[in-house]
Amino acid sequence: MLADKQTPSTVDIGSARIRRLDISCSKTLSTGQYGLSERLRHLTLRLQTSLELDRLLEFFFEEVRHLVPLRALSYRHLGTDFQLQIGEANGFDVSYSLSHSGNCLGELRLFSSRYVADPLLDQLENALDCLLFPLRNALLYRQAVQASLKDPLTGAGNRAAMVQALTRETELSRRHCQAVSIIMLDMDHFKHLNDTYGHQAGDAALKATALLLKEQLRNVDMVFRFGGEEFVLVLSNTGSEAAAVVAERIRAAIQNLFLLVGDKQLQLSASLGCATYQPSESQDDLLRRADQALYQAKRDGRNLIRVASA
């Protein structure tokens, strides 16, 4: 049975301290506080060694457990779509909305097997002071990395991100003998759309298609803009038959996607080629087979899917 939760305090750290100001001001420097300052100095130094959010929060959790009997940490930052949980998130909890210089740094929840008294909360909030600046830097780093791997028009991953994802997925496939498939998608008659209605219409079609692709896929699947009007979808732990089912679902969804240009409704369509990774082939070979299947779909009349042979 779960223990009763401690009354949440989803507030900024300064406000939390004000509630205990009369207690804090009456304290005198003691040997315990000297030990606290040494622990916080060590924490500060350790937090300066990484810009990776998961590593930073792991370091924080490991060090703070020397001060407060914590059993779990839960963190999320919606702006960078980052979530992390360490340990079993149950028992008494205390929550903080973190910020630095007016910038939101996410929501942090810390869990303990027993009620955390005010003196320990003071120590915890001193430790949180040490976290704020490194956390801000780590978030800025994550945002920069995300921007460098994202297509600015559609919000899908770019080719560099696709190479990273394929490298990771094919390595997992070799290690664990699990299937991974890709779908290469090309918008039909895209040049005609651009030439007739302008590049703004073409851009709108690409944005709408990218959004539709994300909606049609699982969270573990990935969408990348390969270039021009082409997209590559990486389907984790998905075999050939399942990939073909996904491709047909996407083809039908795009066919039902209408683009409003002025007073006209334009019907879109796409051709798709599927390929499933073979352990003996390179990443380029996998992409080449998917590309060949795609152009077979084009030659056969467009608005079709074709599956590459093994």
CA–CA gap between residue 307 and residue 247 (Å, rounded): 10
12 CB-near residues (< 8 Å, 6+ apart): 96, 97, 98, 99
Give the per-residue pLDDT at 15: 53
Distance CA 272, CA 307 (A): 9
Q: What CA–CA distances, in Å, run from 121 to 20, 94, 107?
A: 9, 9, 17
283-300 pLDDT, tens digit per residue, is: 999 999 999 999 999 999
CA distances from 149 to 142, 163, 257 (A): 11, 10, 27
User: Does 27 map to a domain?
Assistant: yes
95 shares a domain with 66: yes
Closest CA to 12 of 71, 85, 99, 142: 99
Residue 276: strand pairing partners: 181
| Angstrom distance (rounded) from CA 64 to CA 69 | 8
CA distance 164 to 179: 17
Q: Would 273 be classed as within a structural domain? A: yes
37 vs 98, higher pLDDT: 98
Tell me whether residue 2 is in a domain.
no
Pairing of strands 258-261, 264-267: antiparallel
Residue 2 has pLDDT above 60, yes or no: no
Q: Both tokens of residue 79?
A: 């702006």
Residue 3 placed within a domain: no
What local confidence, expressed as pLDDT, does residue 191 receive?
A: 95
Q: Which residue has the higher pLDDT, 5 or 169?
A: 169
């209408």: which residue's tokens? 258
Q: What is the rounded average pLDDT of the residues 129-141?
A: 95
Assess whether 229 carries a catalytic annotation: yes
CATH of the domain at 184: 3.30.70.270
The answer to the question of residue 6 being in a domain is no
- What's the pLDDT tens digit per position in 156-199? 999 999 999 999 999 989 888 889 999 999 999 999 999 999 99
- The answer on 163 and 143 residing in a single domain is no
Is the model's pLDDT at 3 over the cut of 80? no
Query: Do 112 and 213 belong to one domain?
Result: no
Write down which residue in 104, 123, 147 finishes a domain. 147
Cα–Cα distance for residue pair 271/97, rounded to 1 Å: 47
Residue 52 lies in a domain: yes
Structure confidence at residue 172 (pLDDT): 87
122 with 75, same domain: the answer is yes
For residue range 232-291, what is the model confidence (pLDDT) as tens digits?
Answer: 999 999 999 999 999 999 999 999 999 999 889 999 999 999 999 998 899 999 999 999
pLDDT at 300: 98
29 falls in which pLDDT band (50, 70, 90)?
Answer: very low
Per-residue pLDDT tens digits for 60-118: 999 999 888 899 999 999 988 889 999 988 888 899 999 988 899 999 999 998 888 88
Which of the pair, 301 or 118, is modelled with greater confidence?
A: 301
Residues 105, 53 share a domain: yes
Residue 109 belongs to what domain range? 13-147
Residue 49 falls inside a structural domain: yes
Same domain, 189 and 224: yes
User: Are residues 169 and 134 both part of a single domain?
Assistant: no
My answer on whether 22 and 73 are in the same domain is yes
DSSP state of 177: -
- Boundary of a domain, candidates 105, 121, 147: 147
Catalytic residue among 52, 58, 229, 230: 229
- Total domains in the fold of the chain: 2
Q: For residue 39, is it within any domain? A: yes
Q: Same domain, yes or no, for 177 and 95?
A: no
What confidence score (pLDDT) does residue 237 get?
Answer: 92
Report residue 33's pLDDT band, with 50, 70 and 90 as the boundaries: low
pTM over 0.85: no
- Final residue of a structural domain among 109, 124, 147: 147
pLDDT of amino acid 67: 87
CATH number assigned to the domain comprising residue 113: 3.30.450.40
Do residue 182 and residue 85 come from a single domain? no
> Are residue 137 and residue 212 in the same domain, yes or no?
no
